Amino acid sequence: MKILVINGSPRSNGNNGKILSEFFRQGRLLNHELESINLSEKNISCCQACLECKARDIAQCSQNDDMNSLLTKIDKADALIIGSPIYMWHVNAQTKLFIDRLMPFLNSDYSSRLKSQKVINVYTQANSNSELYKKHLESMSEVYSFIGFKHVDNLYVSGELNTYDAWTQNGIESKVGELLAKL
């Protein structure tokens, strides 16, 4: 299975980066073909609402930035694992920007051009109450489904988890394994 591991955090080796590395490590053991992408290293502008993508035969954007190559990769992938830090109660801006730019996967009648690629979302937050933002983040699951992905599950990681030891104590490795098994 081709899996894109996408990090929306500006801290490539921060909390999301470390958890996504664990997905990468276990995914390789399962013989998946994985590629890591850090959104903050990409040049991705805001959607300009030109809607020219609706008139195209393929899912590409009129803007000549790094998003078109990402759209091609997503088109060819079987699954995406997308990590975002929580900023001000929601996904951070870089992740939302990326989601907005998935518009070319929708036809003019809002049917999808995707082949139901699977999506797992990872959300990390500082607040130890893992229920606090779920109502906002579960709406994001509906957004992925609307675009045409098959939303598989969310992994919520809360608290000041700054070391790999802390995550293993919290069972992150086994949670990652359980999620990969759902793909």
Binding stretches for ligand FMN (CB under 6 A): 9, 11, 14-17, 85-89, 124-127
Closest approach, Cβ 95 to ligand FMN, in A, equals: 11
Strand blocks (E) in the chain = 2-7, 33-38, 79-87, 90-91, 118-125, 150-158
Question: Which residue's CB comes closest to ligand FMN?
Answer: 14
Closest approach, Cβ 65 to ligand FMN, in A, equals: 23
Residue 120, helix vs strand vs coil: strand
Q: Which is nearer to ligand FMN, 4 or 106 (CB)?
A: 4
What does the block give as tokens for 148? 């045409």
Of residues 99, 174, 180, 92, the one with CA closest to residue 141: 99
Closest approach, Cβ 85 to ligand FMN, in A, equals: 3
Closest approach, Cβ 135 to ligand FMN, in A, equals: 14
Q: Which is nearer to ligand FMN, 86 or 137 (CB)?
A: 86
Task: Please check whether residue 106 is in contact with residue 31, taking contact to mean a CB–CB distance below 8 angstroms.
Answer: no
Q: Work out the number of other CB atoms within 10 angstroms of the CB of residue 81.
A: 27
Say how far apart CA 103 and CA 63 lie, in whole Å: 12
